[in-house]
Chains A and B, each alone.
Chain A
Amino acid sequence: MSVKVSMKVNGKPVSAEVEERTLLVTFIREHLRLTGTHVGCDTAQCGACTVQMNGNVVKSCSMLAMQAEGAEVLTIESVAAPDGTLHPMQAAFKEHHGLQCGFCTPGMVMNAIDFAKKHPGASEPEVREALEGNLCRCTGYHNIVKAIMAGSKAMAGAK
């Protein structure tokens, strides 16, 4: 059975006929060819598929595209400025070497931006706790935590 879904992704209205069971991440990756959002586990554990929906972060591998009907979805491709300038959180990840293979990075950045917005001035243990749902196998988290602390500060300063 196919169904029509319509939503706004990265500010652009999109709609498509998809199977009812199509996951949001499949819609983003395969139908829209926005491949920055990754699939690492299919079970909402690793967070590589994290996107923003209606102002909150969600794991796009664990919901149907239909559930995002009418929603405003933001993916990693929307985070840098249109001229390519990195968002302060992206810049902090680069400056503090908060990424290695890059596979978990889009999900990490999406989660970090949301967290920093909602929890300005969070402590290191709070940042570590906030990363419970984002797995990284490369960095040991040390530099991700540093990057989020710095990126959070930069975001607060930029307001």
Chain B
Amino acid sequence: MSASLIGARVQRKEDYRFLTGAGQYTDDVTLPHQSYAAFVRSPHAHATIKSIKIDKAKKAPGVLAVYTGEDVAGAKLGGLPCGWLITDVNGQPMKEPPHPVLAHGKVRYVGDHVAVVVAETQEQARDAAELVEVSYDVLPAVVDASQATKKGAPVLHDIAPDNTCYVWALGDKAAVDAAFAKAAHVTKLEFINNRLIPNAIEPRAANGHYSRADDSYTLYVASQNPHVERLLMTAFVMGLPEHKVRVVAPDVGGGFGSKIYLYAEDVVVTWASRQIGRPVKWTADRSESFVSDAHGRDHHTIAEMAMDKDGKFIGMRVHTTANIGAYLSTFASCVPTILYATLLAGQYTTPLIFCQVTAVFTNTAPVDAYRGAGRPEATYVVERLVETAAREMKLDPAEIRRRNFIREFPYQTPVALQYDTGNYDATLDAAMKMADVAGFAKRKEEAARRGKLRGLGYAAYIEACGIAPSAVAGSLGARAGLFEAGEIRVHPTGSVTVFTGSHSHGQGHETTFAQVVADRLGMAVENVDIVHGDTSKILFGMGTYGSRSIAVGGTAIVKALDKIIDKGKKIAAHLMEASEGDVEYDKGVFKVAGTDKQKAFGEIAFAAYVPHNYPHDKLEPGLNENAFYDPANFTFPAGSYVCEVEIDPDTGVTKIANFTAVDDFGKIINPMIVEGQVHGGLTQGIGQALTEGCHYDPETGQLVTGSFTDYCIPRADDVPSYQVDTRETPCTHNPLGVKGCGEAGAIGAPAAVINAITDALWSMGIKDIPMPATAQTVWKAIQSASKKAA
């Protein structure tokens, strides 16, 4: 085994089961005596519940039980907790209204859970749900955050009479204002970062099962973090001891953030399974996914950048109103604050930054982290300002970036983060070369001859991943630690099972993590299995989000590997009658330095389990180690994207002619998998920029974009083939030198696309275009610009 597995394009171990239909997703799990749940959801955005009549539903064929908010309140089921406490500008805690698992007294968004019906079959449950008669007093609704803070707006929660959850700020406002006062040029933009609906292709699902035999619960659930799910559900909602609850997240069909959270349905099916003494399964249909999965983004922002005469950034001022929906979802509060404002330095030396965020309750689905979570919003602010500033100051957009790039590391930003490493010139240079920026003028001319408008835009993003040093997160309000756990179990004949608290739902951990372990132990990838997603097998885990798995979960595995090797050295020293200090280890072989004595890893494993000749006075038998890893800092993936678009001015249709992404993810374990992550992220980012926009009716609060016909996630012919490459500055504070790659594409792409579109339209006087820049939006902008010009 001489060739390194680190950096190898190893085909995925998980693919065979997915390709042959043998994957096991939550809805594929059907237990003996399975029953099925259907939820009655509010058809109104805001209403008082006058009465709920369940008699007809209870008598319907196959119905086993019907529960309402009163039942769960009577059973002392707590509300869904929020995992991050934000302290406002006055030092007060954010407003945390109750978030009941079934609505009690009032409903606050279309899709809010009102009752649940449990029946013998899914069809019977759904039929009976329609027989539950809920009488409502409909109240005025507000769906737009800027409207919700106005005097006289409908009030969602008594404890927040102005619908404001918090007003939070970061940075020295007076110093920033002073910088603006002496600026040679100020660029100002006001825009909406459009609300998105995640739409993993597997709808959410949960199957709860209470076992009378040992008074314990098992919950199968489409989750990105089963341990977090268990912790929140047991400690905060159900008041159960954790050892009586097992949470299994089997194969999960995409998450993108939307499966991080503890949802009402998960709690209700678990609780109901005990009430009826049978397992209870709920699987969302797509309409339910649209109305009840946590949404993403939805910022209204006014952003300003102050420059000196040379285009050096001297200050930045950002005011954002963030719509957090009707209730606080699990991590809703930290997304528009901690994960947003701290990224506003971007790749630049901007010395003074002030950001104020007002988080607002509205009659819409809860908003929480969606791929990128705060960082796409921050990147959009920074990169739209930078590109617009360059155009206004008649500087080349690449040049203005170079004048402001951070080049010395570690670099302390004015917004709390300390970047450990990076090389922003390297990624920008590579991207420009790959995108043939030099040849753009010719392509633009050629397009013009065909009557098309061609534009080129950049985005140079940074993100903070590998979340997070627990102490730092705790000081910022996190109510959980953010470490990761891993365990290496070496079997007597030398094969290995690895248990990780990270969860894979498309990221390919079963391959990437196996490469890390197999490389270190000098064995074939096939001899290493990765187990994830089951609290009964894995010692603990914080799960997968924020591109943290390889940086935090991978490092926990490496730390456990270190312990395995250390113990192996002791066994090897005994077997070879050498001093432990003389034993060296390299890829599966223990050697006595300066001699030809050696033992293979498999021999050591065997000796550990068949300890006939073994240092029993010093060592326990067996070869099994675990480790917890709490990172010292965030990791800082960064990169440069170049997007080239061609717009048909007659129709407004924007085609992406070329998209180039050059990322620095530090060391890369499996480039094939990393490229796949970038492709997927880019497509979601392009979706945000061009096709995806969640729309609630402003009067009724109905979700207008509630199906795939109304909400356009990109199809194959909406996006191009991508040009992707990487540059590498290894992370300085984890042993693998890795940074994470899962969200980059979604973070950088929206700004690059809109910068390209506005480049194409700049000469017409169009400085900004809202997302999604659909054909209609672009066409309207061109029409109104032409009218002005005429």
Residues of A participating in the B interface, judged by any CB pair closer than 8 Å: 19, 21, 29-30, 33-43, 45-46, 48, 75-77, 79-80, 84, 86, 90, 93-95, 97, 99-106, 109, 124-125, 127-129, 131-132, 134-146
Contacts and interface: CB of A to CB of B under 8 A. Distances in A.
B22 interface: yes
Interface stretch (B82-90, B137-145, B352-360, B673-681): B673-681
Given A77-B21, A137-B256, A138-B254, A38 B722 contact: no
Contacts of A132: 715-717
A90 B19 contact: yes
A153 to B, nearest CB: 17
Contacts of A21: 123
A43 B684 CA distance: 22
Interface in B667-687: 672-673, 675-676, 679-684
A30 B673 CA distance: 33
Q: From A36, A77, A90, name the one whose CB has the most chain B CB atoms within 10 angstroms.
A: A36
A137 B721 contact: no
Nearest to A35: B28
Contacts of A48: 201
Contacts of B5: none
Contact of A45 (B18, B251, B679, B707): B707
Given A80-B20, A140-B680, A101 B202 contact: yes
A154 to B, nearest CB: 14
B547 to A, nearest CB: 15
Contacts of B28: 29, 35
A97 B676 contact: yes
Contacts of B199: 137
A124 B721 contact: yes
A43 B286 contact: yes
Given A48-B201, A94-B11, A101-B252, A142 B20 contact: no
B672 A135 contact: no
Interface string B693-733: 00000000000000111000111110101100000000000
Contacts of A138: 201, 254, 506, 676, 680
Given A35-B28, A137-B684, A40 B18 contact: no
B19 A97 contact: no
Nearest to B23: A102
B715 A131 contact: yes
Interface string B650-692: 0000000000000000000000110110011111100000000
Contacts of A95: 11
Nearest to B670: A97
Contacts of A79: 20
A136 to B, nearest CB: 7
B721 A36 contact: no
A128 B717 contact: yes
A19 to B, nearest CB: 7
Given A104-B201, A128-B716, A137-B680, A43 B18 contact: no
Given A135-B201, A137-B200, A138-B254, A105 B19 contact: yes
Contacts of B285: 42
9 contacts: A36-B20, A39-B283, A40-B202, A99-B18, A99-B19, A100-B506, A103-B23, A103-B200, A131-B715
A53 B24 CA distance: 24
